[in-house]
């Protein structure tokens, strides 16, 4: 078994073993960066390198499952990588700290190879406090908070509080109620199906990626 496979196995086991951990609000607090999948089209159009046409195209294409998918799309719209990077200072697709690839992490503004290594090194991430402590040792509190707004640690869908669930981009009291009524969940596919009711399968998957099933 190679190192990467072994590490993913450790992460999976740790998440399953975390049934006793109360995973609370785990979506990084925004310091100005918005979720590209939920922000209004008119707001998108005001961001760096954007035009009304590109903003409309983003809305028509979303939800984006990852920042890599978003990046590929923006480059196809004619943006340079430098322009796309400037856009990410304002809008992004959150990355899962426990599963994000190096390619995804490197798209986080000013993360760099150092953070790609550190994000991976401390897996599995269980709490935001853990992230603040470990990453803060390298870059300080302010930079840690700035990086944190691009990330999330999946919450246990079976125990997360309403307040925690409302930190998911685009979440509403009605969506939280839908999640609660579907409990207990056994697999993440059940979560996605529940969330797709009255919406779309793609939207169900978008919200479900912020969650993890711990029976």
Q: What is the pLDDT along the chain (215 residues), one digit of tens a residue?
A: 444 444 444 344 344 333 334 445 589 999 999 999 999 999 999 999 999 999 999 999 999 999 999 999 999 999 999 999 999 999 999 999 999 999 999 999 999 999 999 999 999 999 999 999 999 999 999 999 999 999 999 999 999 999 999 999 999 999 999 999 999 999 999 999 999 999 999 999 999 999 999 87
Say which DSSP state 197 is in: T
What is the pTM for the complete model shown? 0.87
Say how far apart CA 48 and CA 164 lie, in whole Å.
31
CA 93, 3, 67 angle in degrees (round to 5)?
A: 10
What pLDDT score does 26 carry? Answer: 87
CATH class entry, domain 155-212: mainly alpha
Break the chain into its structural domains and give their ranges.
26-153, 155-212
What pLDDT score does 215 carry? Answer: 74
188 Cβ contact partners less than 8 Å away, ≥ 6 residues apart: 157, 208, 211, 212, 213
Contact 154, 95 (CB under 8 A): no
- CA distances 46 to 34, 39, 51, 53, Å, are 13, 11, 8, 12
């Amino acid at each position: 078994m190679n190192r990467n496979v072994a590490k993913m196995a450790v992460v999976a086991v740790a998440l399953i073993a975390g049934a006793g951990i109360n995973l609370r609000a785990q979506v990084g607090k925004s310091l100005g960066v918005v979720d590209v999948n939920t922000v209004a089209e008119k707001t998108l159009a005001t961001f760096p390198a954007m035009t009304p046409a590109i903003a409309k195209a983003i809305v028509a294409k979303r939800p984006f499952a990852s920042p890599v998918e978003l990046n590929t799309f923006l480059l196809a719209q004619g943006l340079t990588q430098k322009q796309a990077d400037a856009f990410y200072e304002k809008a992004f697709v959150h990355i899962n700290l426990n599963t994000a690839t190096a390619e995804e992490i490197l798209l986080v503004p000013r993360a760099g190879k150092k953070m790609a290594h550190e994000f991976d090194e401390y897996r599995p991430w269980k709490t935001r406090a853990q992230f603040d402590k470990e990453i803060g040792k390298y870059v300080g509190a302010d930079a840690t908070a700035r990086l944190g707004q691009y990330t999330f640690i999946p919450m246990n869908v079976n125990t997360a509080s309403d307040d925690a669930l409302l930190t998911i981009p685009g979440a509403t009291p009605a969506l939280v109620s839908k999640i609660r009524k579907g409990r207990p969940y056994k697999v993440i596919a059940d979560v996605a199906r529940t969330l797709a009711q009255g919406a779309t399968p793609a939207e169900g998957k978008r919200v479900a990626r912020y969650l993890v099933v711990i029976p």
